[in-house]
Chain A
Amino acid sequence: MGVVEAAGAICFLFADVVYSIFRYRFRWELFLEQIVRIGMRSQGIVLITGAFTGAVFAAQTQFRFGKLGLSSATGPVVSIAMLRELGPVLCALMISGRVGSAMAAELSTMRVTEQIDALRALAVYPTQYLIVPRFLGMLVSMPFLVALTSGTGILLGYVVSVLLLGVDPAFYWDNTIKFTGARDIWMGEIKALFFAVIIVLISCHRGLRCQLSAEGVGIAATEAMVFSAITVLISNFFFSFLMNLILSS
Protein backbone atom coordinates (compact mmCIF):
# COMPACT_ATOMS: atom_id res chain seq x y z
CA MET A 1 0.00 0.00 0.00
CA GLY A 2 1.39 3.38 -0.96
CA VAL A 3 2.12 6.03 1.63
CA VAL A 4 -0.55 8.39 0.26
CA GLU A 5 -3.16 5.63 0.17
CA ALA A 6 -2.30 4.56 3.72
CA ALA A 7 -2.38 8.17 4.94
CA GLY A 8 -5.80 8.61 3.34
CA ALA A 9 -7.10 5.40 4.92
CA ILE A 10 -5.78 6.53 8.32
CA CYS A 11 -7.56 9.88 7.94
CA PHE A 12 -10.81 8.05 7.15
CA LEU A 13 -10.26 5.81 10.17
CA PHE A 14 -9.74 8.91 12.33
CA ALA A 15 -12.97 10.46 11.02
CA ASP A 16 -14.79 7.19 11.63
CA VAL A 17 -13.46 7.04 15.21
CA VAL A 18 -14.55 10.63 15.94
CA TYR A 19 -17.96 9.95 14.39
CA SER A 20 -18.34 6.73 16.40
CA ILE A 21 -17.45 8.47 19.67
CA PHE A 22 -20.44 10.78 19.30
CA ARG A 23 -22.80 8.49 17.40
CA TYR A 24 -22.73 5.33 19.52
CA ARG A 25 -23.02 4.65 23.21
CA PHE A 26 -19.87 4.91 25.26
CA ARG A 27 -18.45 1.61 26.49
CA TRP A 28 -16.95 2.39 29.90
CA GLU A 29 -15.91 -1.19 30.59
CA LEU A 30 -13.84 -1.49 27.41
CA PHE A 31 -12.41 2.00 27.87
CA LEU A 32 -11.27 1.26 31.44
CA GLU A 33 -9.82 -2.07 30.29
CA GLN A 34 -7.70 -0.17 27.77
CA ILE A 35 -6.57 2.33 30.42
CA VAL A 36 -5.30 -0.62 32.44
CA ARG A 37 -3.64 -2.29 29.44
CA ILE A 38 -2.11 0.85 27.98
CA GLY A 39 -1.61 3.15 30.94
CA MET A 40 -1.11 1.03 34.01
CA ARG A 41 0.80 -1.88 32.49
CA SER A 42 3.20 0.41 30.65
CA GLN A 43 4.35 2.25 33.75
CA GLY A 44 7.33 0.01 34.42
CA ILE A 45 8.75 0.26 30.95
CA VAL A 46 8.44 4.07 30.75
CA LEU A 47 9.85 4.49 34.27
CA ILE A 48 12.99 2.60 33.29
CA THR A 49 13.21 4.46 29.96
CA GLY A 50 12.83 7.87 31.56
CA ALA A 51 15.07 7.15 34.53
CA PHE A 52 18.10 5.92 32.62
CA THR A 53 17.74 8.43 29.80
CA GLY A 54 17.68 11.25 32.36
CA ALA A 55 20.61 9.72 34.23
CA VAL A 56 22.89 9.31 31.21
CA PHE A 57 21.88 12.66 29.77
CA ALA A 58 22.64 14.42 33.07
CA ALA A 59 25.99 12.62 33.34
CA GLN A 60 27.08 13.49 29.79
CA THR A 61 25.95 17.10 30.19
CA GLN A 62 27.77 17.43 33.49
CA PHE A 63 30.97 15.85 32.07
CA ARG A 64 31.10 18.52 29.34
CA PHE A 65 29.57 21.50 31.13
CA GLY A 66 31.63 20.83 34.28
CA LYS A 67 34.85 21.37 32.33
CA LEU A 68 33.52 24.72 31.12
CA GLY A 69 32.38 25.76 34.59
CA LEU A 70 28.72 25.50 33.60
CA SER A 71 27.61 22.88 36.13
CA SER A 72 24.70 25.07 37.13
CA ALA A 73 23.25 24.66 33.63
CA THR A 74 23.01 20.86 33.86
CA GLY A 75 19.67 20.90 35.72
CA PRO A 76 17.78 23.15 33.27
CA VAL A 77 19.26 21.38 30.24
CA VAL A 78 18.18 17.99 31.53
CA SER A 79 14.71 19.15 32.56
CA ILE A 80 13.97 21.04 29.33
CA ALA A 81 15.28 18.21 27.17
CA MET A 82 13.29 15.62 29.11
CA LEU A 83 10.07 17.64 29.15
CA ARG A 84 10.14 18.85 25.56
CA GLU A 85 11.83 16.10 23.57
CA LEU A 86 13.26 13.02 25.25
CA GLY A 87 10.30 12.28 27.50
CA PRO A 88 7.54 12.43 24.86
CA VAL A 89 9.56 10.85 22.05
CA LEU A 90 11.11 7.99 23.99
CA CYS A 91 7.84 7.27 25.75
CA ALA A 92 6.04 7.21 22.38
CA LEU A 93 8.66 4.86 20.93
CA MET A 94 8.33 2.47 23.86
CA ILE A 95 4.53 2.59 23.70
CA SER A 96 4.52 1.96 19.96
CA GLY A 97 6.63 -1.13 20.60
CA ARG A 98 4.72 -2.41 23.62
CA VAL A 99 1.15 -1.34 22.92
CA GLY A 100 0.97 -0.48 19.20
CA SER A 101 2.30 -3.81 17.99
CA ALA A 102 0.06 -5.67 20.44
CA MET A 103 -2.97 -3.74 19.17
CA ALA A 104 -2.13 -4.56 15.57
CA ALA A 105 -1.54 -8.24 16.37
CA GLU A 106 -4.80 -8.48 18.30
CA LEU A 107 -6.91 -6.80 15.62
CA SER A 108 -5.28 -8.71 12.78
CA THR A 109 -5.85 -12.02 14.59
CA MET A 110 -9.49 -11.05 15.00
CA ARG A 111 -9.67 -10.28 11.31
CA VAL A 112 -8.02 -13.54 10.26
CA THR A 113 -10.31 -15.61 12.51
CA GLU A 114 -13.42 -13.74 11.25
CA GLN A 115 -14.15 -12.28 14.69
CA ILE A 116 -14.51 -8.81 13.18
CA ASP A 117 -17.00 -10.17 10.65
CA ALA A 118 -18.80 -11.88 13.53
CA LEU A 119 -19.10 -8.52 15.30
CA ARG A 120 -20.61 -6.98 12.18
CA ALA A 121 -22.92 -9.97 11.75
CA LEU A 122 -24.13 -9.39 15.31
CA ALA A 123 -24.94 -5.77 14.39
CA VAL A 124 -22.01 -4.30 16.34
CA TYR A 125 -19.96 -1.64 14.61
CA PRO A 126 -16.29 -2.73 14.88
CA THR A 127 -14.91 0.82 15.03
CA GLN A 128 -17.12 1.58 17.99
CA TYR A 129 -16.40 -1.69 19.79
CA LEU A 130 -12.71 -2.16 19.03
CA ILE A 131 -11.11 1.12 18.00
CA VAL A 132 -12.85 3.81 20.06
CA PRO A 133 -11.91 2.29 23.45
CA ARG A 134 -8.29 1.88 22.32
CA PHE A 135 -8.20 5.40 20.90
CA LEU A 136 -9.58 7.02 24.04
CA GLY A 137 -7.56 4.75 26.32
CA MET A 138 -4.37 5.79 24.57
CA LEU A 139 -5.39 9.45 24.55
CA VAL A 140 -5.94 9.46 28.31
CA SER A 141 -2.93 7.30 29.18
CA MET A 142 -0.21 8.95 27.08
CA PRO A 143 -0.01 12.31 28.91
CA PHE A 144 0.43 10.47 32.22
CA LEU A 145 3.05 8.14 30.78
CA VAL A 146 4.97 11.05 29.25
CA ALA A 147 4.82 12.92 32.56
CA LEU A 148 6.13 9.80 34.27
CA THR A 149 8.97 9.42 31.75
CA SER A 150 10.03 13.05 31.98
CA GLY A 151 9.57 13.21 35.76
CA THR A 152 11.71 10.15 36.49
CA GLY A 153 14.31 11.38 33.98
CA ILE A 154 14.60 14.73 35.76
CA LEU A 155 14.67 13.03 39.14
CA LEU A 156 17.39 10.54 38.24
CA GLY A 157 19.29 13.33 36.45
CA TYR A 158 19.30 15.15 39.77
CA VAL A 159 20.46 12.05 41.64
CA VAL A 160 23.32 11.45 39.21
CA SER A 161 24.39 15.10 39.04
CA VAL A 162 24.15 15.83 42.75
CA LEU A 163 24.95 12.55 44.45
CA LEU A 164 27.42 11.04 42.00
CA LEU A 165 29.00 14.00 40.25
CA GLY A 166 28.95 16.52 43.11
CA VAL A 167 26.88 19.36 41.63
CA ASP A 168 25.54 21.74 44.27
CA PRO A 169 21.90 20.68 44.90
CA ALA A 170 20.70 24.21 45.66
CA PHE A 171 22.14 25.52 42.39
CA TYR A 172 20.75 22.54 40.51
CA TRP A 173 17.14 22.96 41.69
CA ASP A 174 17.22 26.72 41.69
CA ASN A 175 18.33 26.87 38.05
CA THR A 176 16.08 24.00 37.01
CA ILE A 177 13.02 25.78 38.38
CA LYS A 178 14.19 29.18 37.09
CA PHE A 179 14.67 28.06 33.48
CA THR A 180 11.88 25.50 33.21
CA GLY A 181 8.53 27.03 32.44
CA ALA A 182 4.96 25.79 32.24
CA ARG A 183 5.19 25.93 28.46
CA ASP A 184 7.89 23.21 28.55
CA ILE A 185 5.48 20.96 30.39
CA TRP A 186 2.62 21.83 28.03
CA MET A 187 4.73 21.21 24.99
CA GLY A 188 5.51 17.69 26.18
CA GLU A 189 1.90 17.00 27.07
CA ILE A 190 0.54 18.27 23.75
CA LYS A 191 3.08 16.08 22.00
CA ALA A 192 1.90 13.16 24.12
CA LEU A 193 -1.64 13.59 22.80
CA PHE A 194 -0.40 13.99 19.24
CA PHE A 195 1.76 10.85 19.45
CA ALA A 196 -1.08 8.93 21.08
CA VAL A 197 -3.28 9.63 18.04
CA ILE A 198 -0.47 8.64 15.65
CA ILE A 199 0.31 5.35 17.41
CA VAL A 200 -3.25 4.18 17.90
CA LEU A 201 -4.42 5.05 14.37
CA ILE A 202 -1.42 3.52 12.61
CA SER A 203 -1.53 0.39 14.76
CA CYS A 204 -5.27 -0.14 14.36
CA HIS A 205 -5.04 0.57 10.64
CA ARG A 206 -2.32 -2.04 10.18
CA GLY A 207 -4.31 -4.54 12.24
CA LEU A 208 -7.51 -4.02 10.28
CA ARG A 209 -5.78 -4.16 6.90
CA CYS A 210 -3.56 -7.20 7.47
CA GLN A 211 -3.21 -10.08 5.03
CA LEU A 212 -5.39 -13.03 5.96
CA SER A 213 -2.62 -15.35 7.16
CA ALA A 214 -0.43 -16.05 10.18
CA GLU A 215 2.39 -14.26 8.40
CA GLY A 216 0.05 -11.30 7.88
CA VAL A 217 -0.46 -11.01 11.64
CA GLY A 218 3.29 -10.89 12.21
CA ILE A 219 3.78 -8.35 9.45
CA ALA A 220 0.96 -6.17 10.83
CA ALA A 221 2.51 -6.16 14.32
CA THR A 222 5.96 -5.29 12.98
CA GLU A 223 4.67 -2.62 10.63
CA ALA A 224 2.56 -1.05 13.37
CA MET A 225 5.63 -0.62 15.53
CA VAL A 226 7.98 0.50 12.75
CA PHE A 227 5.56 2.90 11.03
CA SER A 228 4.43 4.41 14.35
CA ALA A 229 8.01 4.93 15.50
CA ILE A 230 9.11 6.49 12.21
CA THR A 231 6.05 8.75 12.09
CA VAL A 232 6.66 9.83 15.70
CA LEU A 233 10.30 10.69 14.97
CA ILE A 234 9.58 12.60 11.75
CA SER A 235 6.52 14.42 13.03
CA ASN A 236 8.35 15.33 16.24
CA PHE A 237 10.79 17.49 14.30
CA PHE A 238 8.07 19.46 12.52
CA PHE A 239 5.90 19.57 15.60
CA SER A 240 8.74 20.93 17.76
CA PHE A 241 9.52 23.54 15.15
CA LEU A 242 5.90 24.63 14.93
CA MET A 243 5.36 24.63 18.69
CA ASN A 244 8.49 26.72 19.24
CA LEU A 245 7.23 29.25 16.74
CA ILE A 246 3.78 29.34 18.37
CA LEU A 247 4.95 29.35 21.98
CA SER A 248 7.77 31.83 21.48
CA SER A 249 5.59 34.35 19.65
Chain B
Amino acid sequence: MLLRLVELTKSLGTQHVLDGVSLEVPPKARLCVVGRSGAGKSVLLRLILGLIKPDSGEIWYGETNLVPLGERELAPLRREMGMVFQNGALFDFMNVEDNVAFVLRERRRPESEIRQAVSRILERLFLQGHEKKMPAELSGGMRKRVALARAIISRPKLILYDEPTAGLDPIGSTEITDLIRCLNEEFGATTIVVTHDMRSVEQIAQQVAFLHAGRIYKVCSPEEFLSSEEPVVKAFVHGLVEEPALGTC
Protein backbone atom coordinates (compact mmCIF):
# COMPACT_ATOMS: atom_id res chain seq x y z
CA MET B 1 0.00 0.00 0.00
CA LEU B 2 1.24 3.49 -0.76
CA LEU B 3 -0.92 5.06 1.90
CA ARG B 4 -2.56 3.57 4.96
CA LEU B 5 -4.68 5.48 7.45
CA VAL B 6 -5.27 3.72 10.75
CA GLU B 7 -8.02 4.78 13.16
CA LEU B 8 -7.50 8.51 12.63
CA THR B 9 -9.36 10.89 14.91
CA LYS B 10 -9.40 14.64 14.74
CA SER B 11 -11.42 17.25 16.57
CA LEU B 12 -11.64 20.91 15.67
CA GLY B 13 -12.73 22.81 18.73
CA THR B 14 -15.60 20.85 20.24
CA GLN B 15 -16.52 19.13 16.98
CA HIS B 16 -15.30 15.56 16.38
CA VAL B 17 -14.59 15.74 12.66
CA LEU B 18 -12.92 12.37 12.19
CA ASP B 19 -13.73 9.55 14.53
CA GLY B 20 -11.63 6.52 13.62
CA VAL B 21 -10.96 6.76 9.89
CA SER B 22 -9.15 3.78 8.38
CA LEU B 23 -8.35 3.57 4.69
CA GLU B 24 -5.85 1.90 2.38
CA VAL B 25 -4.75 3.35 -0.95
CA PRO B 26 -2.69 1.20 -3.33
CA PRO B 27 -0.08 2.73 -5.66
CA LYS B 28 -1.38 4.34 -8.88
CA ALA B 29 -4.99 4.20 -7.66
CA ARG B 30 -7.59 6.88 -8.35
CA LEU B 31 -9.65 7.24 -5.23
CA CYS B 32 -12.48 9.69 -4.66
CA VAL B 33 -13.31 10.55 -1.07
CA VAL B 34 -16.89 11.76 -0.93
CA GLY B 35 -19.08 13.00 1.85
CA ARG B 36 -21.28 15.89 2.88
CA SER B 37 -19.88 19.36 3.42
CA GLY B 38 -18.20 19.47 6.81
CA ALA B 39 -17.73 15.70 6.90
CA GLY B 40 -13.97 16.14 7.25
CA LYS B 41 -12.82 15.43 3.69
CA SER B 42 -10.44 18.40 3.47
CA VAL B 43 -9.22 17.71 7.00
CA LEU B 44 -8.30 14.21 5.83
CA LEU B 45 -6.14 15.61 3.03
CA ARG B 46 -4.44 18.03 5.41
CA LEU B 47 -3.68 15.16 7.75
CA ILE B 48 -2.15 13.09 4.95
CA LEU B 49 0.08 16.01 3.99
CA GLY B 50 1.05 16.64 7.61
CA LEU B 51 -0.36 20.20 7.59
CA ILE B 52 -2.26 19.29 10.76
CA LYS B 53 -1.73 16.50 13.26
CA PRO B 54 -4.37 13.92 14.19
CA ASP B 55 -5.50 13.56 17.79
CA SER B 56 -4.79 9.84 17.49
CA GLY B 57 -4.15 7.21 14.85
CA GLU B 58 -1.46 6.55 12.28
CA ILE B 59 -0.77 7.70 8.73
CA TRP B 60 1.58 5.32 6.91
CA TYR B 61 3.16 6.56 3.70
CA GLY B 62 4.98 3.50 2.43
CA GLU B 63 6.92 2.31 5.46
CA THR B 64 6.90 5.66 7.27
CA ASN B 65 4.40 6.79 9.88
CA LEU B 66 3.94 10.52 9.21
CA VAL B 67 2.26 11.37 12.50
CA PRO B 68 5.32 11.76 14.77
CA LEU B 69 7.38 13.57 12.13
CA GLY B 70 8.22 17.27 12.38
CA GLU B 71 8.35 19.78 9.51
CA ARG B 72 11.98 18.96 8.75
CA GLU B 73 11.42 15.21 8.55
CA LEU B 74 8.22 15.68 6.53
CA ALA B 75 9.89 17.84 3.87
CA PRO B 76 11.47 14.99 1.83
CA LEU B 77 8.18 13.06 1.92
CA ARG B 78 6.19 16.12 0.88
CA ARG B 79 8.46 16.37 -2.15
CA GLU B 80 6.89 13.10 -3.28
CA MET B 81 3.38 14.54 -2.90
CA GLY B 82 1.44 17.25 -4.64
CA MET B 83 -1.65 19.07 -3.47
CA VAL B 84 -4.21 21.07 -5.40
CA PHE B 85 -5.99 23.33 -2.92
CA GLN B 86 -9.66 24.17 -3.25
CA ASN B 87 -9.05 27.77 -4.27
CA GLY B 88 -5.73 27.07 -5.93
CA ALA B 89 -3.65 28.76 -3.20
CA LEU B 90 -1.46 30.26 -5.91
CA PHE B 91 1.21 32.65 -4.69
CA ASP B 92 -0.38 35.99 -5.49
CA PHE B 93 2.98 37.79 -5.72
CA MET B 94 4.18 35.56 -8.58
CA ASN B 95 2.97 35.23 -12.14
CA VAL B 96 1.73 31.92 -13.59
CA GLU B 97 5.16 30.91 -14.88
CA ASP B 98 6.88 31.54 -11.54
CA ASN B 99 4.13 29.77 -9.62
CA VAL B 100 4.55 26.66 -11.74
CA ALA B 101 8.35 26.85 -11.70
CA PHE B 102 8.46 27.41 -7.93
CA VAL B 103 8.98 23.78 -6.92
CA LEU B 104 11.74 23.19 -9.45
CA ARG B 105 13.52 26.42 -8.46
CA GLU B 106 13.31 25.30 -4.82
CA ARG B 107 15.02 22.08 -5.85
CA ARG B 108 17.67 24.10 -7.68
CA ARG B 109 17.18 22.53 -11.07
CA PRO B 110 19.01 24.23 -13.97
CA GLU B 111 17.08 27.21 -15.34
CA SER B 112 17.01 25.76 -18.88
CA GLU B 113 15.44 22.55 -17.58
CA ILE B 114 12.89 24.57 -15.56
CA ARG B 115 11.88 26.64 -18.57
CA GLN B 116 11.41 23.53 -20.66
CA ALA B 117 9.37 21.75 -18.01
CA VAL B 118 7.17 24.80 -17.38
CA SER B 119 6.54 25.36 -21.03
CA ARG B 120 5.68 21.68 -21.53
CA ILE B 121 3.26 21.53 -18.62
CA LEU B 122 1.56 24.83 -19.47
CA GLU B 123 1.01 23.60 -23.00
CA ARG B 124 -0.36 20.31 -21.68
CA LEU B 125 -2.85 22.18 -19.48
CA PHE B 126 -3.83 24.67 -22.21
CA LEU B 127 -2.25 27.60 -20.40
CA GLN B 128 0.23 28.77 -23.00
CA GLY B 129 0.01 32.52 -23.57
CA HIS B 130 -0.92 33.13 -19.92
CA GLU B 131 2.59 32.75 -18.48
CA LYS B 132 2.99 36.37 -17.45
CA LYS B 133 -0.47 36.80 -15.93
CA MET B 134 -0.87 37.22 -12.19
CA PRO B 135 -3.26 34.84 -10.34
CA ALA B 136 -5.77 37.67 -9.81
CA GLU B 137 -6.12 38.00 -13.59
CA LEU B 138 -7.13 34.35 -14.08
CA SER B 139 -10.57 32.75 -14.17
CA GLY B 140 -11.47 30.08 -11.58
CA GLY B 141 -10.85 27.26 -14.03
CA MET B 142 -7.48 28.64 -15.10
CA ARG B 143 -6.42 29.08 -11.48
CA LYS B 144 -7.26 25.43 -10.85
CA ARG B 145 -5.22 24.40 -13.88
CA VAL B 146 -2.23 26.49 -12.75
CA ALA B 147 -2.49 24.91 -9.30
CA LEU B 148 -2.62 21.53 -10.99
CA ALA B 149 0.47 22.39 -13.06
CA ARG B 150 2.32 23.47 -9.93
CA ALA B 151 1.37 20.25 -8.15
CA ILE B 152 2.38 17.85 -10.92
CA ILE B 153 5.46 19.54 -12.41
CA SER B 154 7.75 17.66 -10.05
CA ARG B 155 6.08 14.33 -10.93
CA PRO B 156 4.90 13.43 -7.42
CA LYS B 157 3.98 9.88 -6.46
CA LEU B 158 0.82 11.00 -4.69
CA ILE B 159 -1.46 13.86 -5.76
CA LEU B 160 -4.22 15.17 -3.50
CA TYR B 161 -7.05 17.24 -4.91
CA ASP B 162 -9.33 19.26 -2.65
CA GLU B 163 -12.67 19.86 -4.40
CA PRO B 164 -11.06 20.35 -7.82
CA THR B 165 -14.35 21.13 -9.57
CA ALA B 166 -15.90 23.37 -6.91
CA GLY B 167 -17.10 26.66 -8.32
CA LEU B 168 -16.53 25.67 -11.95
CA ASP B 169 -19.09 25.63 -14.76
CA PRO B 170 -19.95 22.16 -16.22
CA ILE B 171 -17.48 22.52 -19.10
CA GLY B 172 -14.65 23.72 -16.82
CA SER B 173 -15.51 20.92 -14.45
CA THR B 174 -15.29 18.29 -17.21
CA GLU B 175 -11.97 19.74 -18.40
CA ILE B 176 -10.49 19.40 -14.92
CA THR B 177 -11.80 15.88 -14.31
CA ASP B 178 -10.50 14.76 -17.72
CA LEU B 179 -7.12 16.24 -16.88
CA ILE B 180 -7.00 14.50 -13.52
CA ARG B 181 -7.75 11.14 -15.13
CA CYS B 182 -5.32 11.66 -17.99
CA LEU B 183 -2.51 12.83 -15.71
CA ASN B 184 -3.01 9.81 -13.50
CA GLU B 185 -2.75 7.55 -16.54
CA GLU B 186 0.25 9.45 -17.97
CA PHE B 187 2.32 9.86 -14.82
CA GLY B 188 1.02 6.91 -12.83
CA ALA B 189 0.70 8.99 -9.69
CA THR B 190 -1.66 7.81 -6.99
CA THR B 191 -4.59 10.21 -6.99
CA ILE B 192 -6.90 11.08 -4.12
CA VAL B 193 -9.74 13.43 -4.96
CA VAL B 194 -11.98 14.92 -2.33
CA THR B 195 -15.30 15.94 -3.82
CA HIS B 196 -19.06 15.90 -3.44
CA ASP B 197 -19.63 16.23 -7.16
CA MET B 198 -21.08 12.93 -8.39
CA ARG B 199 -20.16 13.64 -12.02
CA SER B 200 -16.52 13.95 -10.99
CA VAL B 201 -16.79 10.67 -9.13
CA GLU B 202 -18.14 8.95 -12.24
CA GLN B 203 -15.42 10.41 -14.46
CA ILE B 204 -12.41 10.02 -12.18
CA ALA B 205 -12.79 7.29 -9.62
CA GLN B 206 -11.63 3.70 -9.68
CA GLN B 207 -12.62 3.47 -6.02
CA VAL B 208 -14.93 5.58 -3.89
CA ALA B 209 -14.59 6.06 -0.13
CA PHE B 210 -17.69 7.50 1.51
CA LEU B 211 -16.97 9.52 4.63
CA HIS B 212 -19.95 9.63 6.94
CA ALA B 213 -20.27 10.49 10.64
CA GLY B 214 -16.51 10.76 11.04
CA ARG B 215 -15.75 7.32 9.61
CA ILE B 216 -15.22 5.68 6.23
CA TYR B 217 -18.69 4.22 5.81
CA LYS B 218 -18.10 2.38 2.55
CA VAL B 219 -15.32 1.73 0.04
CA CYS B 220 -16.43 0.40 -3.35
CA SER B 221 -16.36 0.93 -7.08
CA PRO B 222 -18.11 4.07 -8.43
CA GLU B 223 -20.77 1.95 -10.16
CA GLU B 224 -21.61 0.17 -6.93
CA PHE B 225 -21.58 3.44 -5.02
CA LEU B 226 -23.86 5.26 -7.42
CA SER B 227 -26.38 2.42 -7.55
CA SER B 228 -26.23 1.55 -3.86
CA GLU B 229 -29.52 0.95 -2.11
CA GLU B 230 -28.09 1.63 1.36
CA PRO B 231 -30.23 4.49 2.70
CA VAL B 232 -27.30 6.72 3.79
CA VAL B 233 -25.45 6.29 0.50
CA LYS B 234 -28.59 6.60 -1.58
CA ALA B 235 -29.61 9.77 0.22
CA PHE B 236 -26.20 11.29 -0.43
CA VAL B 237 -25.97 10.26 -4.09
CA HIS B 238 -29.48 11.41 -4.97
CA GLY B 239 -29.64 14.36 -2.59
CA LEU B 240 -32.58 12.94 -0.68
CA VAL B 241 -33.49 14.86 2.44
CA GLU B 242 -34.65 12.82 5.45
CA GLU B 243 -35.83 15.72 7.59
CA PRO B 244 -37.84 18.67 6.23
CA ALA B 245 -35.46 20.59 3.97
CA LEU B 246 -34.53 24.16 4.86
CA GLY B 247 -36.08 25.43 1.66
CA THR B 248 -39.40 23.58 2.07
CA CYS B 249 -42.46 25.78 2.15
Contact = CB atoms under 8 A, between A and B. Distances in A.
Partners in one complex: yes
Contacts of B78: 120-123
A113 B49 contact: no
A115 B89 contact: yes
23 contacts: A110-B92, A113-B89, A115-B90, A117-B46, A117-B51, A118-B85, A118-B89, A120-B50, A120-B71, A120-B78, A121-B51, A121-B81, A121-B82, A121-B85, A122-B78, A122-B103, A122-B106, A123-B74, A123-B75, A123-B76, A123-B79, A123-B106, A125-B72
B102 interface: yes
Interface residues of A, number: 13
Given A115-B92, A120-B51, A120-B78, A125 B85 contact: no
Interface of A: 109-110, 113-115, 117-118, 120-125
B75 A121 contact: no
Interface in B38-61: 46, 49-51
A109 B49 CA distance: 22
A113 B87 contact: yes
Given A114-B85, A117-B51, A117-B85, A125 B91 contact: no
Contact of B49 (A110, A121, A124, A125): A121
Given A113-B92, A115-B92, A121 B83 contact: yes
Contacts of A109: 92
B3 to A, nearest CB: 16
A120 B51 CA distance: 7
Given A117-B46, A117-B85, 16 more contacts: A113-B87, A113-B92, A114-B85, A114-B89, A120-B50, A120-B71, A120-B78, A121-B49, A121-B83, A121-B85, A122-B78, A122-B102, A122-B106, A122-B150, A123-B75, A123-B78
Q: Which 5 A-B pairs have the closest CB atoms?
A: A118-B89, A114-B89, A123-B78, A123-B75, A121-B83
Given A123-B76, A123-B78, A123-B106, A118 B87 contact: no
Contact of A117 (B74, B89, B103): B89
Contacts of A123: 74-76, 78-79, 106
Interface in B7-64: 46, 49-51
Interface in B64-106: 71-72, 74-76, 78-79, 81-83, 85-87, 89-92, 102-103, 106
A115 B51 contact: no
B83 A124 contact: no
Contacts of A114: 85-87, 89
A125 B83 CA distance: 16
A124 B99 CA distance: 14
A224 B200 CA distance: 43
Nearest to B82: A121
Nearest to A121: B83
A212 to B, nearest CB: 12
Query: Which one of B79, B89, B91, B106 has the highest number of Cβ atoms from chain A below 10 Å of its Cβ?
Result: B89
Given A113-B89, A115-B89, A115-B91, A125 B75 contact: yes
B114 to A, nearest CB: 14
Nearest to A126: B71
Contacts of B76: 123
Contacts of A120: 49-51, 71, 78
A118 B83 contact: yes
A123 B79 CA distance: 6
